[in-house]
Amino acid sequence: MMDVGRHPRIKLFAYSEVEHISGFIGNFNVKIRKKARYVIEDECTACGDCTKDCPVVVPDEYQQGFSSRKAIYIPFPQAVPSAYILNMEECLGNNPIACGKCLEACEKKCIDYDMKDEIIEVEVGTIIVATGLDVYDPTELDEFGYRSYENVITSMEFERLICAGGPTAGHFVRPTDRKVPRTVAFIQCVGSRSGKRGNRYCSNICCMNTIKDTLLLYDHYPETKCKVFYIDIRAFGKGFEQMFMRSKEVGVEYIRGIPGEVVEDPVTRNLILTVENTTTGRVEQHEVEMVVLSVGMEQRSDFDRLQKMLTLSTTGDGFVLESHPKLKPVDSPTRGVFYAGCVESPKGITESVVQSSAAAARASIILNAGRVKIEALTARLDTSLCNYCGMCARVCPYHAITPPDRKLGIYPEIIEAACAGCGTCAAECPNDAITMRHFTDAQIMAQIDAILEEKPLEKIVAFACNWCSYAGGDNAGTSRLQYPPSIRLIRTMCSGRVDEKFVLYAFQKGAPLVLVSGCHFADCHYINAVTWTQRRVERLWNKLERLGIRPERLQLEWISAAEGQKFAKVMRELEELRKKVTPEEVQQTREILRREAEKERARKAKRVEALRSA
Amino acid sequence: MPEKAKFKCLRCGYLYEDKYTPGVPQERACPKCGSNSVRRLEEKSTSPGNR
Ligand code: SF4
Ligand code: SF4
Ligand SMILES: [Zn+2]
């Protein structure tokens, strides 16, 4: 931290918040709110004279509320910059000055009650998101008595109590009598691995953290006995299993089972844990002097603001989604934005350092090169066809299109460096003003033509996205799974590219059945483009019904790259549906759509005419 | 605000009711056959707000 603060090429914005981010890789503009700290940072020598006289006493959040601080304080001893902060919400008042003691006490006169928040703008080429985590709050789990009993603490609180810089100067004492406990129980997976309360995922570090804590305790207090209640111990890192063994050797008792109840003996203030020991199959009771709840990790509760600013996607558990879990594990789907640490998933220090180094390296490659290479799959705009509707800018998951302004005659602009090539804009543009490089309308229509050239009644036209459903087909193939040969795949980068007109064209050309397939929502490789696919298919179902065509003939499926089995199963099901479509039905559809196409052509000609003359 | 809506599976024909938030696309799977070809059936309503 100190090194970062002193580094000539690192500018640290402490006590600040990101307000707004715009731009794209190489050209991000970030607005930062530097909050007023009411102490002139560069002048303050952290002598602490001010804090001595401050009459306001509040719980110290850094010490988990085990000790107190004043309204003017330094958050923690190693804080960078090493300067005091005045919390104006806790201060007795600055307008008018109600107390002014700190101002009097500060010899250097670095206290400024009139200081205001500052908005700072910075231009950066890349962004690394390393926002950290929140710790699970166990108050909802009544059975562990965290709210009722003082001697039940969390693993975070344990850290403060055992730390030499903590409120007890490293003397581990139990809160009720300030005595070193002779028995301590650790309860694992609090808030983790639960389908009902807390989170479903494993928080990754809690097992090892507890093992470390027990060893620390034995080191400091050899006579203290530790019991660990667990589901299973996950000690899979380098040297971790040895550490686990060592804790067993020094006498830590491991009991497989999570207590269903913790109650306090009102006289001794000891805690009695009732647990089903799943190794012996017996219900047991254990009396201990203190309980430590090994709490899990969560995404920060205020993360959604930043998520929106950077158009980041998250998985169901709230952690950010990587551009590719194996090949681009520190890249976000938005170019030039990288991840480090627990924002991506719960992880320990080593893994966080590895990931941060990787993110820094990825970012510096771009900065050093000064230019980026992108795949030639981006969108291109023909302004002569654009009527400023702004649909493209609305649907782009990457904010890669600047919104048009009809009044000022400003067309949308596609920022190619930010465009990921999903094709959603091209599919949604009502005027066909956007062309996708290498996935043009003409190219896709030509594939439909080729598929349906011969025996169209025996074919199913299936649109498959590059990353998931097409790869799911590959998976089915390499696993030698059988599926009917009637399926003909057309690959698009994203299902968001599948234009309404492709589907209608396939029906018009005699396709009995059409499938649109893409990634599951949580796996979408283009942030949320898949939601536009869903909307479009729903629109199409309504349209087909209105035209007198059975909506069942347009099918939708989300298939991941790993779901070869599902791919084959879906294709078999579709084949059954195809067999039920009669030649008469197909003929009737073609007739309906031919008439529709004629009408549409006339409408379009009028539109183009109007646009051109405008 | 989530409300209830009727859904139809366009693969197996199964009809069911489920929660639905207007304007928020959601990944759906038929409770019977697992297909994602699930269509929300619009209520034929005469109320002016629901056209
Ligand atoms: S969607 Fe098409 S017509 Fe509308 S603003 Fe974008 S390019 Fe222009
Ligand atoms: S292709 Fe996708 S990413 Fe590119 S501009 Fe269009 S909507 Fe945005
Ligand atoms: Zn079904």
> pLDDT by residue (tens digit) across A527-538?
899 999 999 999
What does pTM read for this prediction?
A: 0.84
- Helix segments in A286-429, DSSP class H: 303-309, 349-369, 391-395, 424-428
Statement: residue A143 has pLDDT above 50: yes
Among residues A97, A123, A149, which one ends one of the domains?
A: A123
| The amino acid at A533 | T
Please give the tally of structural domains in chain A.
4
Sort out which chain B residues have CB atoms less than 8 A from A573's CB and list them: 11, 33, 35
Determine phi and psi for A224, rounding to 5 degrees.
-80, 135
| Predicted confidence band of residue B51 (pLDDT cuts 50, 70, 90) | very low
Contact A418, A428 (CB under 8 A): no
Q: Are residues A56 and A97 in the same domain?
A: yes
Across the interface, of A534, A555, A570, the residue whose CB is closest to B25 is A534
CA pair distance A330, A321, nearest whole angstrom: 9
The DSSP bridge partners found for residue A97 are: A94
CB distance A513 to ligand 1 below 6 Å: no
Tokens of A530: 């898949």
Q: How distant, in Å, are the alpha carbons of A246, A293, A333, A435 from that of A214?
A: 10, 13, 41, 62
CATH code of the domain in which A495 resides: 3.40.50
Mean pLDDT, residues A505-523 = 95
Specify the residue with its C-alpha closest to ligand 1, atom 4: A389
**Residue A365 domain boundaries:** 303-369
Residues A146 and A181 in one domain: yes
| pLDDT, average across residues A314-339 | 90
Let me know whether A138 and A107 are in one domain.
no
Bridge partners for A255 per DSSP: A229
Same domain, residue pair A318 and A365: yes
pLDDT digit string, tens, across residues A294-323: 999 999 999 999 998 998 888 888 999 898
Same domain, A112 and A176: no
pLDDT tens digits for range A449-488: 999 999 999 999 999 999 999 999 999 999 999 999 999 9
Residue A230 CB: number of other CB atoms within 10 A? 19
Strands A554-558 and A513-518: parallel
Ligand 1 centroid–CA A388 distance in Å is: 5
Of B25, B35, B40, the CB nearest to A557: B35
A521–B37 C-beta distance less than 8 A = no
Inter-residue contact A130 to A351 (CB < 8 Å): no
Average the pLDDT over A12-21 and give the result: 95
Helices (H), A310-348: none
Tell me, using a 6 A CB cutoff, whether residue A398 lines ligand 2.
Answer: yes
Give yes or no: residues A292 and A307 share one domain. Answer: no
B6 vs A: CB within 8 A: no
Which of A335, A378, A396 best tests ligand 2's pocket when mutated (most atoms within 8 Å of CB)?
A: A396
Given a contact cutoff of 8 angstroms between Cβ atoms, the answer to whether A153 and A292 are in contact is yes
Q: Does A376 map to a domain?
A: no
* pLDDT at A278 (0 to 100): 96
Strand, coil or helix: A102:
helix
Does residue A108 fall inside a structural domain?
yes
Determine, yes or no, domain membership for A256: yes
Chain A interface includes B41 (CB < 8 A): no
Identify the CA nearest to A205 among candidates A413, A351, A21, A3.
A351
In a domain, A149, yes or no: yes
Segment A396-405 shows an average pLDDT of 94
Residue B50 pLDDT exceeds 90:
no
Q: Are A244 and A233 in contact (CB under 8 A)?
A: yes
User: B-chain residues within 8 Å CB-CB of A554?
Assistant: 10, 37
Asked whether residue A233 falls in the same domain as residue A321, the answer is: no
Determine whether the interchain pair A541/B27 forms a contact, defined as Cβ–Cβ distance below 8 Å: no
Overall average pLDDT of the A182-205 stretch: 94
User: Same domain for A119 and A262?
Assistant: no
CATH number of the structural domain spanning residue A174: 3.50.50.60
Residue A301 backbone dihedrals phi, psi, to 5 degrees: -65, -25
- Cis bond upstream, residue A138 (ω within 30): no
Q: Is the Cβ–Cβ distance between A162 and A216 less than 8 Å?
A: yes
Type and span of the H or E element at A283: strand A282-288
Question: Residue A368, Cβ neighbours under 10 Å: how many?
Answer: 8
User: Do A100 and A194 fall into the same domain?
Assistant: no
Identify whether residues A485 and A577 lie together within a single domain. yes
Provide the pLDDT confidence category of residue B44 given band limits of 50, 70 and 90. Answer: low
Alpha carbons A339 and A130: distance in angstroms, whole number? 6
Give the environment of ion ligand 3: residues with CB less than 5 A: B 9, 11-12, 14, 30, 32-33, 35
d(CA B35, CA A554): 13
Q: Classify residue A35 as exposed, middle or buried by CB count within 10 Å of its CB (0-12, 13-18, 19+).
A: middle
Residues A211 and A93 in one domain: no
- Kindly list the distances between the CA atom of residue A438 and the CA atoms of A213, A373, A378, A448, A497, in Å, as whole numbers in the listed order: 57, 17, 9, 16, 12
Confidence band (pLDDT; 50, 70, 90) for A612? confident
Of A91, A123, A155, the residue at which a domain comes to its end is A123
Pocket of ligand 2 contains residue A506 by CB under 6 Å: no
Q: Are residues A292 and A309 in the same domain?
A: no
Q: CA-CA distance, A425 to A414, in Å (whole number)?
A: 10
Torsion angles phi and psi, residue A125, rounded to 5:
-90, -35
Q: Which domains does chain B have, with CATH numbers?
A: 3-43 (2.20.28)
Q: What is the pLDDT of residue A315?
A: 82
Both tokens of A92, joined, read 């007795």
Are A199 and A303 in contact by the 8 Å Cβ rule? The answer is no
Question: Could you say which of A123, A142, A163 is where a domain stops?
Answer: A123
pLDDT tens profile A228-266: 999 999 998 899 999 999 999 999 999 999 999 999 999
Domain membership of residue A418 (yes or no) is no
Which parts of A452-528 fold into alpha helices (H)? Answer: 469-478, 500-508
Binning pLDDT at 50, 70 and 90, where does residue A605 land? confident
Task: Please report, as a single letter, which amino acid is at residue B10.
Answer: L
Location of structure tokens 């705009």: A381
Asked if the structure places residue A417 within a domain, the reply is no
**CB of A127 shorter than 6 A to ligand 2:** no
Q: Within an 8 Å CB–CB cutoff, is residue B3 touching chain A? A: no
Contacts of B9 in chain A (CB under 8 A): none
Residue A23 lies in a domain: yes
Which tens digits make up the pLDDT trace of B30-41?
999 999 999 999
Domain-embedded: residue A359: yes
Please tell me whether residue A437 adopts helix, strand or coil conformation.
coil
Neighbours of A173 (CB within 10 A): 14
Classify residue A607 as exposed, middle or buried by CB count within 10 Å of its CB (0-12, 13-18, 19+). middle
pLDDT at position A613? 80
The mean pLDDT of chain A is 94
Is the peptide bond between B2 and the residue preceding it cis, with omega within 30 degrees of 0? Answer: no
Ligand 1 pocket member A389 (CB < 6 A): yes
CB A320: neighbour CB atoms within 10 A? 22
Lookup: tokens for A194: 């639960």
